[in-house]
A and B are shown apart, each in its own frame.
Chain A
Amino acid sequence: MFLNYILPLIISIIFIVLFVTICTIKLKNAPESKKLVPVQVVFWVLVALEFAKIFYLIAQNGSYQPSRYPIVFCSLVFFAYPLFCFKKNRFSEVAKGFSVIPAMIIFVLFVAIQWQFNMSLIQGHSYLFHAAMLAVSIYLLTAKIYKFEFKKFYSLFLVLSGYIVFSTVLSLFIGGDISYFGPNSSYLGIIYNNFGYAVGNLLVIMLFFVLCFAVYGIIGLCQRKKKKVVTNESGEVKQ
């Protein structure tokens, strides 16, 4: 248990804390383009890791399984990085949002079931992979590259639900399950087994809506309260 679960988790957390602290402090006064350099580095590292994983697993299994495609939900987040870390465009803000909350969800879901498995090369790879994505998502917040605004929740919801629809269609087309949004899911299997695949997906989309609405809504409310307190204080000082 300690070697298989707690130790890699501790190492991952140390890695995340170090990455976020060093990058945030070192690039505190840097322009945004320079602040995004660590994200670019992480992106290329993740590409290499993903490529190595695919290569290794195909060699090990002698086949390429749909659940190992680089478009499963876990691997998907880092595909959003190029949309904002190299060149800004109209999708940059959505991509940043997609790199924050989903990465956190993925890390939590990943950690939640890892105690069942023994440590292996692929396990180590997965810890590093998920930790790197979480580190980037926290760094985007601490470096103030991404700011929560309530209205941004809708674009994130659209992207997430778009992905669920896409993965569902693709899974049906291939005949295998490419994402964790399917009957074989370790997390959401109950929904799919009770309601059926398609209805289960509709429910998951609604679940995402509630989740995005709640997270962005709560943060938005907190920010409003903070603003009010600050304006009141400044008002008193002026009087």
Chain B
Amino acid sequence: MIFDILALLLVCIFFPVIVYSGIKIYKPKSYKGLIIGLSIAFLCMELLRFFYNASLYDGGVTPADDIKYSFITILVIVCMFATFSSGKVRKLSRGLFCLTSLIPVVLAITNSSIYTNVLDTYAVTKALYFLEAGIVLTIALLYVIQDKTEFSPWQILWSIILFVIFVGLDLLVIFFWRTEAIIDTTWYIGMAVSVVTIPLVYGVNVLVNKLIKKKSEQVVNGQAEKELSADAERIEEDMPANSNNNEEEIIKQEENIEKEKK
């Protein structure tokens, strides 16, 4: 269990770092292609996770308890809208996606049954879930970098509504499908911590934006000061030379006038 959490955290940290370092090295003009590629990869991984899980059973008949659906499944749909739509839908879904991007990690930590299967001896579904959680964070990072997004408090509300819908759906599944999932303290803690991550991501975004603004202001001020000092130096350098030239010219002109008089 602890090793699972450790592996999950490592993947979630390293995957965005690996992608971001690639971006820093190759400096692509736009992230559009990368975002589309990652979104499609995300969708394919979720499908693969589902089908691989089904393949563990005879005839692919998956018991209701073992259908590995979670908040990450909803994020796949949101991601499709965020990447491929335009206008208001795109803005809203990108906000939702970014603000809720930490929830799959929290849910995986509090409830390992959403990604583990006893029959999965090669831990493929587990690995796919971890990778998906990493991809979610990477895509969220790319959205923020591309759009230079500053989230509004309304987006927090929308994100919470989305998560509440998921919780409702989860409860409906538990009662309607009569699964063996237990609603205990861990379940409540998982849901509560997941909700807390939404304003947390918002706060981080606000802080990062403030820092970026400060840095850019400092850079602008520094550049302005440098430019001013450079100009002043240039003027100082040019001034004596100009004055010398003028004097020489005046002397030459006077000499010419005298010559003409003669």
Q: Is A231 an interface residue (CB 8 A)?
A: no
Binding site for A on B (CB under 8 A): 51, 54-55, 57-64, 67, 85-86, 176-178
B contact residues around A196 at 8 Å (CB): none
| Distance A86 CA – B89 CA, assembled complex (angstroms) | 12
B176 touches A55 (CB 8 A): yes
Q: Knowing A58-B67, A87-B86 touch, does A176 contact B54 (C-beta < 8 A)?
A: yes
Q: Select one of B51, B60, B64 contacting A58, CB under 8 A.
A: B64
Q: A64 to B64, Cβ gap below 8 A? A: yes
The contact of B61 among A65, A86, A87, by CB within 8 Å, is A65
Count how many chain A residues have C-beta atoms less than 8 Å from C-beta atoms of the other chain: 16
Our count of residue pairs bridging A and B at CB distance below 8 angstroms stands at 48
Q: Which of A65, A86, A173 contacts B55 (CB 8 A)?
A: A173
**Which chain A residues lie closer than 8 Å to B63 at the CB level?**
62-63
Q: Pick the contact of B54 from A55, A58, A86, A174 — CB < 8 Å? A: A174
Q: Which residues of A contact B86 (CB under 8 A)?
A: 87
Does the CB pair B60–A175 fall under 8 Å? yes
9 nearest CB pairs, A to B? A176-B60, A174-B60, A66-B60, A176-B59, A64-B62, A174-B55, A63-B61, A63-B63, A59-B176
- How many angstroms from the CA of A55 to the CA of B85 in the assembled complex? 27
In the assembled complex, how far is the CB of residue A99 from the closest CB belonging to chain B, in whole angstroms?
19
Report whether over half of chain A's contact residues are helix, strand or loop; otherwise say mixed.
mixed
Which chain A residues in 62-104 approach chain B with CB under 8 Å? 62-66, 86-87
Would you call A170 an interface residue if the criterion is a C-beta within 8 Å of the partner chain's C-beta atoms? yes
The smallest C-beta distance from B134 to any residue of chain A, in angstroms, reads: 24
Closest CB of chain A to B229's CB: distance in Å? Answer: 53
Q: List residues of chain B with CB within 8 A of the CB of A174.
A: 51, 54-55, 60
Contact of A64 among B55, B58, B67, B85 (CB under 8 A): B67
Residues of B within 8 A of A170 (CB): 51
**Contacting residues, chain B, for A178 (C-beta < 8 A):** 60
- A/B interface sample: 28 pairs, CB < 8 A: A55-B176, A58-B64, A59-B64, A59-B177, A59-B178, A62-B63, A62-B177, A62-B178, A63-B61, A64-B54, A64-B61, A64-B62, A64-B64, A65-B59, A65-B60, A66-B59, A66-B61, A86-B85, A87-B86, A170-B51, A173-B51, A174-B51, A174-B54, A174-B55, A174-B60, A175-B55, A175-B58, A176-B61
On chain A, the residues within 8 Å of B57 by CB distance are 175
Return A186 CB to nearest CB of chain B, in Å.
Answer: 17
- What residue of chain B has the Cβ atom nearest to residue A62's Cβ? B64
In the complex, what's the smallest C-beta–C-beta distance from B101 to chain A, in angstroms? 24
**Cα distance A86–B85 when bound, in Å?**
9
Which residues of the other chain, A, contact B54 by a CB distance below 8 angstroms? 64, 66, 174, 176
Contact partners of B59 in chain A: CB under 8 A: 65-66, 175-176
Known: A58-B67, A64-B54, A176-B61. 16 other contacts (CB 8 A): A58-B64, A59-B64, A59-B177, A62-B63, A62-B177, A63-B62, A63-B63, A64-B61, A64-B62, A64-B67, A65-B61, A66-B59, A173-B55, A174-B54, A174-B55, A176-B60
